[in-house]
Structure 1
């Protein structure tokens, strides 16, 4: 099976196809100073607690020795160093799980897709990257392009609370959306024949498609999702610092996260 080429590119940068894995410099921030208010909002416990969505393979992955690697952990470590505090990662199985924990005070900042519908609960930094969202299907599925998915009789498995689920719910009028607790559960529904398609980020779907039973990732994308750092609404000094830091970083470096 030919492996599709995916794209993860920095905000404002030239779009480049992913090639063979290569080393990339760790995220570095030019001198950006946090105000006392931003420091209090970002590290009320003395460390920067960062929520990461493990289902977004474009930004984060767990290494063989259990460490977290990728664009998001790199940038989080650089931010913590700039604040002068240690970083503590809080891993979640989905973006929806991060949002569900918002009121518990378990994290100070979260790497999440930008979605206007979440503006009543979160403030987003300037986006630092963009990720494509598309669909995975069983090999015998007649659909070939993501743009063909919104048709009568098509069932699409989604992860509850994901930015792409919210987008599909707002824009798709003919296909039926079936919400699942996690992206893994959505993929299982397709493999089991309960749904025709599973929505997700291209990088994550291409990684999942390689495991048995294999899946096929559709051509094209139904959404390009800006990725940013979110803080609880009301933490305006923290949000201003994060936006300034992302701007100073030049959008961070590009990583091959497959």
Structure 2
């Protein structure tokens, strides 16, 4: 799908393509050795800007909730999000481009050995405020109590500091944090699969949302997403299937 002048205008109301980048999910983005934002989402934003013939402006956040708010409130034109029905009120999502596992982490001495044991009365589960895990577990956990860290990267530090029973988040982030904090272990398996998609404000034109959806499918089909994951040494996540024609 080729961009028309109307589609370009819909994506660049301020004259540039403003892409919200969430540094709270290490699968999607982080900072390079020079401190600049880098990662799969940054690469996708750059390619989208190139196809639109637009200058790219990165709007960087430390937490998913901040990124969602920026795009919903039209302070950014596109973003990279876990698909969630609550977020869908203000965002138009593409199909997913990456699938990520959500996992639980506990202390070595914890009596919890299985995901099914987490939802128990008296159990506290630490999540990143406004993250996909927060939204999902708020709906799914009926007996456990959710406590919230300011951002996803601070979940394990807050879990340790506050004495919570379980930490929930991206498996790779939890594995990295567990390596820095002795006496922790991940529970086997996953409690959810997060579908990471691109999104734009729901008020943008249908042609613009269709163009973005087509762009994401092309990025999967062409191998762009897989190559970006390899380039940024992302392991444990999968390229989402291409949508059936």
TM-score, structure 1 as length reference: 0.81
> CA 1:238 to 1:205, structure 2 compared with 1: closer, same or farther past 3 Å?
farther
CA distance in 1, matches of 2:216, 2:133: 23
Residue 96 of structure 1 and its aligned partner are, at CA, apart by 0.9
Match for 2:65 among 96, 111, 117?
A: 96
Aligned to 1:208, the other structure's residue is in SS state helix
What does 1:239-254 align with in structure 2 at a 5 Å threshold?
239-250=209-220, 252-253=225-226, 254=229
CA distance in 1, matches of 2:26, 2:153: 12
> CA 1:111 to 1:189, structure 2 compared with 1: closer, same or farther past 3 Å?
same
CA distance in 1, matches of 2:70, 2:183: 33
CA distance in 2, matches of 1:123, 1:104: 13
Residue 195 of structure 1 and its aligned partner are, at CA, apart by 0.9
Aligned to 1:179, the other structure's residue is in SS state strand
> CA 1:178 to 1:233, structure 2 compared with 1: closer, same or farther past 3 Å?
same
Query: Greater relative contact order: 1 or 2 (C-alpha under 8 angstroms, separation 6 or more)?
Result: 1
Provide the residue aligned with 2:239 in structure 1. none
Contact kept, 8 Å, 2:68 with 2:87, in 1: the verdict is: no
Aligned to 1:224, the other structure's residue is in SS state strand
Residue 148 of structure 1 and its aligned partner are, at CA, apart by 2.5
For the pair 1:67 / 2:36, whether they are aligned, the reply is yes
For the pair 1:86 / 2:63, whether they are aligned, the reply is no
CA distance in 2, matches of 1:203, 1:73: 19
Provide the residue aligned with 1:238 in structure 2. 208
Gaps of 5+ in 2: 236-245
TM-score, structure 2 as length reference: 0.85
Aligned to 1:166, the other structure's residue is in SS state helix
Provide the residue aligned with 1:180 in structure 2. 149
Moved more, 224-233 or 189-198: 189-198
Contact kept, 8 Å, 1:135 with 1:197, in 2: the verdict is: yes
Tell me the C-alpha RMSD between the 2 structures: 1.9
What does 1:111-150 align with in structure 2 at a 5 Å threshold?
111-150=80-119
Contact kept, 8 Å, 2:80 with 2:199, in 1: the verdict is: yes
Contact kept, 8 Å, 2:68 with 2:81, in 1: the verdict is: no
Residue 205 of structure 1 and its aligned partner are, at CA, apart by 1.6
Gaps of 5+ in 1: 1-31
CA distance in 1, matches of 2:176, 2:8: 37
CA distance in 2, matches of 1:89, 1:214: 38
Match for 2:139 among 151, 165, 170?
A: 170
Contact kept, 8 Å, 1:206 with 1:217, in 2: the verdict is: yes
Residue 70 of structure 1 and its aligned partner are, at CA, apart by 2.1
